[in-house]
Structure 1
Amino acid sequence: MASSSVKVAVRVRPFNSREMNRGAKCVIQMQDKSTCECNTHSDVFFFHFISSFFCLRCEDPSFASQRKVYQDIGEEMLLHAFEGYNVCIFAYGQTGAGKSYTMMGKQDPGQQGIIPQMCEDLFRQTADNTDPDLSFSVEVSYMEIYCERVRDLLNPKSRGALRVREHPIMGPYVEDLSKMAVTNYSDIADLMDTGNKARTVAATNMNETSSRSHAVFTILFTQRRHDNMTSLDTEKVSKISLVDLAGSERADSSGAKGMRLKEGANINKSLTTLGKVISALADMHGTKKRRSDFIPYRDSVLTWLLRENLGGNSRTAMIAALSPADINYEEILSTLRYADRAKQIKCNAVINEDPNARLVRELKEEVNRLKELLLSQGLSNLITASGKYTHTHANLLTARLYSLLNNSQMSVQQCWRSYFHDRVS
């Protein structure tokens, strides 16, 4: 089990027309890659994150492009997916702060966000595979959480909300959610386009195309390998969750009325619950309290579905999207404090491998210790002059260990000791 903190980055977008028309001033400074400073005339606040992306002016030498953001955040998460871990990236911030642009972006060259870049990179790496014993499969789903109801964005004509269920082993899932098999980037790009067109958006004073729902794009990435040494077929499955949260907002700033006001109330309710979950998980750091005793995951659909990504079996990154303008100072500071709490969350990710894969890995780890054990018993004749095990002996050892495991209740270590005792007696 690999314990790791949630990786938190911040990104500041350029001024928009509304802010420029009001003569807004910049209250955000980034002194280096990881330090973000928020200041007014009377107060200065410093925050430290894993990355700080300054996108105020494209001519600035420190300007962070879409590619730069993906390279710093997305590439590492994709690597973890290939290792067999669940991964999650989610964007948080006030409405109009640049979350959807960061996660999905635009179709114009150089404007693609993390989601399309990761999908393209995933298929590029699988296409580069030359191992005949390794194969891949990819399935995707795309849903939105709108007013605490789940909609299938890949089947937008379906009526009624989908139900969230609890699997005793796999955890929360959405019943009857479409899951589409894809074989190349073109397939997945078409599905993204279908889902994006079906998302619920509306104009507010803060944003002409404000996302009124939380969107979750999920990739189920399966790696299958045939191990010639043991003749076993093994499998690793990684769930990649890419989340574009709806924008936090104040009714007086967004000008929300009627349906927009109701939407905003539901958005703020789920984000408030997310904040409570983050605070509770952050407070667990250094304590021995059990997570299940007091974390309010089920208080909203969003936090229920993200349960494993928040303090559970996942490698998780958060991108806090910020406006640079002094007229949004309260929202900026709230987002930075939110993000500062999130980086204290500890996740306990495990490689999602089947029992056969775990068995093969453990056996190979034992084989890799063979040299030292043989040398310690004066059996160096079983090692080649190059210091490696002979292929024959490695195969025999693994086969013998597997045979012992398959026909007894012994652990790998007990089987090794039994095998080694047979060899030296």
Structure 2
Amino acid sequence: MGDCCVKVALRIRPQMAKEKIEGCHVCTLVTPGEPQVLLGKDKAFTYDFVFDIDSEQHNIYQACVYKLIEGCFEGYNATVFAYGQTGSGKTYTMGTGFDVNLSQQEQGIIPRAVHQLFEGIQNRRMRAQEAGSQPPEFKVTAQFLELYNEEILDLFDGGRDLESRSRKSNIKIHEDASGSIYTTGVTSRLVQSEEELLQCLKLGALSRTTASTQMNAQSSRSHAIFTIHLCQMRVCQQSQMNGGAENGGAENGGAENGELNGVDSSPIAQPEFETLMAKFHFVDLAGSERLKRTGATGDRAREGISINCGLLALGNVISALGDQMKKGGHVPYRDSKLTRLLQDSLGGNSRTVMIACVSPSDRDFMETLNTLKYANRARNIKNKVVVNQDKTSQQISALRAEIARLQLELMEYKAGKRVACEDGSEGFSDLYQENAMLQRESDTLRLRVKAMQETIDHLNTRVTHLLANEVSTLLTKSSEGNEEIGALIQNYIREVEELR
């Protein structure tokens, strides 16, 4: 288990032709080389990533989402959600618009993630085959939900008609014993390929509720949550590492472990499997909007009010989780179905990235400022991330650790290190304790010998230095005769012979 902060990325969309014609000025400035944006003259905000007007789709994906998909293969949940005012480029960034005019370079996050997911599945199967081990098995299912006027609708439900939007939904939100959120009454599509999953996503996206407003010709009037569930059954990595050692031990065990009455009874090590599960939420939130600017009336106005209520509830959850003063207090997840569905993503078990999309035009200054403040609070949220392993695999891991502990204890009994006392208690044998005491004494003596050797080396160096000084002094007095030098040389020769 580990804490993981929610990462926040800021994306500034390019100015639209209409904004340029109307004379709108750019009010955002990105600090070169720094993930910081300056709004107006004095409002600076720092995030984990900042993408300016000229940023490309693949740069955003590599920085924000690539590692999240790789983490799903290790059993970690992940969430990416786009937030911002209507018309700020959320649907384009997420890739749920499916505009036929988009090139491959302009593909959004979801199509790229689907490609990486199935490419990762294929690569892992190939690596396992090359290594001679059993390839992992994968099961990929998808769900596509729409939250419209506080009602959850299933976009994969082919029998759903337009009138069902006004009726109460049968989809329920539940929480399991571990605190994870799941839904009942939702269609789950089992998919086998990248093309099949993209086709499901496309059909669901075409069923989304969109309408025209004064700010956006095709405005999303609902929140969309596209969820991919990945179930993986693979050979336990710990079992792979220990397999060779276990086999080697059986071969070298002799009559004690492997042979009994001439028959080899050593067990053949069977591969152990673990099941990992992960879910990835791709959330395309409807845009926050002011009714005065959108010019919405009737149903459009009611939709806008519902959208703003859901985003307000989401903002309250972010504030409650990100405010250090309110740490441990009540988090209002149940105020909205949107926050209830995203309970795992905010303050729960998920690696989460929030992409805040903003407009650079000065006429959207207030909406951009509110989005930047909203995103700034999200950076303080800490999620508790754990690997999603099924209970059977967890139990196997616990039993494996227990077996290793008992094997070590048994070896200590065989070696005479442990003994059982008459009263049933365990203790160390006298022989082991005496051996440990002698070992400590031996270590102490080694340290003393090392210290004495260092002292001897130091004294030898000093004697050599003094003798050298004495020779130098005698050589300077060569005018007085060489008898003393000859005597000194004789002494050296005699000392060398004694040492030999």
> Normalising TM by the smaller chain, what interval?
0.7 to 0.9
The separation in 2 between residues aligned to 1:213 and 1:325, in whole angstroms, is 25
1:234-253 pair list within 5 angstroms: 234-253=274-293
- Which amino acid letter does the alignment assign opposite residue 277 of structure 2? V
2:208 is the counterpart of 1:199? yes
2:184 is the counterpart of 1:189? no
The separation in 1 between residues aligned to 2:83 and 2:414, in whole angstroms, is 60
* 1:49 pairs with one of 43, 47, 50: 47
Instruction: Identify the range of structure 1 (123-132 vs 134-143) with the bigger mean alpha-carbon deviation.
Output: 123-132
2:152 is the counterpart of 1:153? no
* 1:352 pairs with one of 374, 388, 394: 388
Instruction: Identify the range of structure 1 (168-177 vs 143-152) with the bigger mean alpha-carbon deviation.
Output: 168-177
2:112 is the counterpart of 1:117? yes
2:151 is the counterpart of 1:166? no
1:327 is aligned to 363
Q: Which runs of 5+ in 1 are unaligned?
A: 56-62, 364-400, 406-411
Deviations 1:188-230 (A, max 9, x none): 0100110110000001111101000000000000110134655
2:222 is aligned to 213
- Which amino acid letter does the alignment assign opposite residue 164 of structure 1? K
Q: Is the 8 A contact 2:37 2:50 kept in 1?
A: no
Deviations 1:104-143 (A, max 9, x none): 1645221111011001110011111222241111000101
- Which amino acid letter does the alignment assign opposite residue 306 of structure 1? L
Q: Is the 8 A contact 1:11 1:54 kept in 2?
A: yes
Distance change (3 Å), C-alpha of 1:286 and 1:299: closer
Among all aligned residue pairs of Structure 1 and Structure 2, give the percentage whose two residues are the same amino acid: 35
DSSP 3-state at the match of 1:23? coil
In terms of Rg, which structure is larger? 2
1:4 is aligned to 4
Q: Is the 8 A contact 2:2 2:386 kept in 1?
A: yes
How far off its partner does 1:20 sit? 1.7
DSSP 3-state at the match of 1:327? helix
The separation in 1 between residues aligned to 2:407 and 2:302, in whole angstroms, is 64
The separation in 1 between residues aligned to 2:116 and 2:340, in whole angstroms, is 29
The separation in 1 between residues aligned to 2:411 and 2:379, in whole angstroms, is 47
The separation in 2 between residues aligned to 1:423 and 1:142, in whole angstroms, is 60
The separation in 2 between residues aligned to 1:102 and 1:34, in whole angstroms, is 22
Q: Is the 8 A contact 1:144 1:216 kept in 2?
A: yes
The separation in 2 between residues aligned to 1:36 and 1:157, in whole angstroms, is 48
How far off its partner does 1:5 sit? 0.5
1:87 is aligned to 78
Structure-1-length-normalised TM-score: 0.82
1:69-148 pair list within 5 angstroms: 69-104=60-95, 106=98, 107-129=102-124, 130=126, 131=128, 132-148=134-150
How far off its partner does 1:175 sit? 1.9
DSSP 3-state at the match of 1:139? strand
DSSP 3-state at the match of 1:352? coil
1:392 is aligned to none
Q: Is the 8 A contact 2:172 2:185 kept in 1?
A: no
Q: Would you tell me which structure has more helix in proportion to its own residues?
A: 2
Structure-2-length-normalised TM-score: 0.70
1:225-236 pair list within 5 angstroms: 225-227=234-236, 229=243, 231-236=271-276
How far off its partner does 1:155 sit? 1.2
Distance change (3 Å), C-alpha of 1:102 and 1:150: same
How far off its partner does 1:417 sit? 4.7
The separation in 2 between residues aligned to 1:423 and 1:30, in whole angstroms, is 69
The separation in 2 between residues aligned to 1:119 and 1:423, in whole angstroms, is 55
Q: Is the 8 A contact 2:84 2:90 kept in 1?
A: yes
DSSP 3-state at the match of 2:61? helix
How far off its partner does 1:361 sit? 5.6
2:294 is the counterpart of 1:254? yes
How far off its partner does 1:325 sit? 0.3
Q: Is the 8 A contact 1:6 1:344 kept in 2?
A: yes
2:425 is aligned to none
The separation in 1 between residues aligned to 2:83 and 2:272, in whole angstroms, is 43
Instruction: Calculate the aligned-residue CA RMSD, in Å.
Output: 2.0
Deviations 1:349-394 (A, max 9, x none): 100012443456678xxxxxxxxxxxxxxxxxxxxxxxxxxxxxxx
Deviations 1:67-91 (A, max 9, x none): 1111011101112211211100000
Deviations 1:314-358 (A, max 9, x none): 110000001000000000000000000000000001000124434
Count the aligned residue pairs: 367
- Which amino acid letter does the alignment assign opposite residue 298 of structure 1? R
The separation in 2 between residues aligned to 1:343 and 1:4, in whole angstroms, is 11
Distance change (3 Å), C-alpha of 1:258 and 1:34: farther
Q: Is the 8 A contact 2:173 2:341 kept in 1?
A: no
The separation in 1 between residues aligned to 2:407 and 2:306, in whole angstroms, is 58
1:31 is aligned to 31
* 2:350 pairs with one of 314, 317, 326: 314
The separation in 2 between residues aligned to 1:349 and 1:80, in whole angstroms, is 11
1:395 is aligned to none
Q: Which runs of 5+ in 2 are unaligned?
A: 129-133, 244-269, 417-500
The separation in 1 between residues aligned to 2:184 and 2:111, in whole angstroms, is 26
